[in-house]
Amino acid sequence: MLKRVLAVAAGMALLWSVPGWAADSGYFRGKTITYIVATGPGGGYDTYGRLIARYLQKYLPGSRVLVRNVPGAGHIVGANTIYASKPDGLTIGMFNTGLIYDQLLKRDGVLFDLTKFSWIGKAANDTRALMLSKSAGFRNIDDFIKAKGPIKFAASGVGSAAYNDTKIVADALHLNVQIVPGFTGNEGEMSMLRKEVVAEVGTAESMEDFVKQGHAFFALALSGDPSALPGVPRAAQYVKDRRGRELLALLNALSEIGRLTAGPPGIPANVLTEERQAYDDAMKDPQFLAEAKKLDLDIHPAPGPKVEAAIRAALNQPPETVAALKVAAGG
């Protein structure tokens, strides 16, 4: 009899260890979850968001997860919308880590506090890199640094994450650059092909296809992680002063937390735990990983508590670093 009881208990333990089972409290059954993506349709964030939404629905049984695109002001509008939502777990979403800059710089329009979001998880790293056009005549980063300039960089709008990243790199490496703002999508790459600009700073993932096509090369990796862009020189070896190292450390922190998912402040602990578990299970799902690979999406997940700690650390900057960031970002 005792053996039968132990066998049943062991079986129940196995049953409850199945991914997603323990997360099913019934709270989400029959409910619709709105997953906000802080960009327009198409592009990397939308692709990640729609894939994640489908697998969250799988691991929150009985729910329906709908993607809603809320673009504007470099992800600020979407983040504001998530932050102001009812804290019932039914509105969550994805936005850019560049909002850390916006909060540190106290940008107009920022109505959120990143430390107060209900963090659910992150799907990827956002490794930053400096990409150079092969037609520009630079053989490597050393040639580039020695150039007299001004060197033309493509970037998205003034104040965007890509614009701030570019300003930080230029400031940390003491480069004489001219940033040409206003590019979206692959417009910067098209400008490179027309030889209007010669360089771009952005996420390695977003620039990888252009590099693979042979039009450009990664000249500098801005992440300290040696597994990111192996063989590409690290920015840290070219930064000579304390201010540059502090700015680079902030950029490196942003590189390690990409494709974030969060909800508004105040989601009840049991509901947030259930969403976090569903998110973690989705990130491990073999079908999810296979689809991500087919879509060429980088998956380096981390759970909500770890993301929250990384966000707080990135925002915990001394006044000197914030002052340097303001100068680098153009005040």
Cβ burial 297-307 (10 Å sphere, 16+ → b, else e) = bbbbbbbbeeb
Domain that residue 221 falls in:
128-254
Q: 194 and 176 in one domain?
A: yes
Q: What is the pLDDT of residue 13?
A: 36
CATH of the domain at 167: 3.40.190.10
Q: 203 and 249 in one domain?
A: yes
170 lies in a domain? yes
- Both tokens of residue 325? 């960031």
328 lies in a domain? no
46 lies in a domain? yes
- The answer to whether residues 175 and 149 touch, using CB atoms and an 8 Å cutoff, is yes
Query: Of 229, 254, 279, which marks where a domain is finished?
Result: 254
CA–CA separation, 136 and 139 (whole Å): 9
Q: What is the pLDDT of residue 43?
A: 83
Peptide linkage before 301 cis (omega within 30 of 0): no
| Low-confidence residues of the chain: pLDDT under 50 | 1-22, 331
Identify residue 322 by its one-letter amino acid code.
Answer: V
CA–CA separation, 37 and 82 (whole Å): 10
Domain count, the chain: 2
How many C-beta atoms lie closer than 10 Å to residue 186's C-beta?
Answer: 15
pLDDT tens column, 223-241: 877 788 999 999 999 998 9
- Helix-helix angle 304-315:269-284, to 10 degrees: 100
205 lies in a domain? yes
Q: What is the pLDDT of residue 262?
A: 98
Q: What is the pLDDT of residue 132?
A: 97
pTM of the model: 0.81
Going across the sheet that includes 258-263, the strands are 64-69, 32-37, 91-94, 258-263, 118-124, 302-303
CATH of the domain at 77: 3.40.190.150
138 lies in a domain? yes
Q: 305 and 158 in one domain?
A: no
Q: 143 and 161 in one domain?
A: yes
Q: 143 and 237 in one domain?
A: yes
Q: 151 and 68 in one domain?
A: no
Q: 261 and 117 in one domain?
A: yes
Query: Of 208, 238, 254, which marks where a domain is finished?
Result: 254
Q: 178 and 149 in one domain?
A: yes
Counting DSSP H helices and E strands in the chain, the numbers are 13, 11
CA-nearest of 224, 234, 243 to 130 is 234
Q: 261 and 120 in one domain?
A: yes
Q: Between vectors from CA 244 to CA 116 and to CA 113, what angle results, nearest 5°?
A: 10
Query: Of 204, 234, 254, which marks where a domain is finished?
Result: 254
pLDDT tens column, 260-282: 999 999 999 999 999 999 999 99
Q: 62 and 163 in one domain?
A: no
Q: What is the pLDDT of residue 184?
A: 78
Distances (CA, A) of 252 to 13, 111, 313: 41, 25, 12
16 lies in a domain? no
pLDDT tens column, 33-70: 999 999 999 888 999 999 999 999 999 999 999 999 99
329 lies in a domain? no
310 lies in a domain? yes
Beta-strand ranges (E) seen in the chain are 32-37, 64-69, 91-94, 118-124, 128-133, 151-154, 177-180, 199-203, 216-221, 258-263, 302-303
Q: 261 and 226 in one domain?
A: no
Q: 267 and 231 in one domain?
A: no
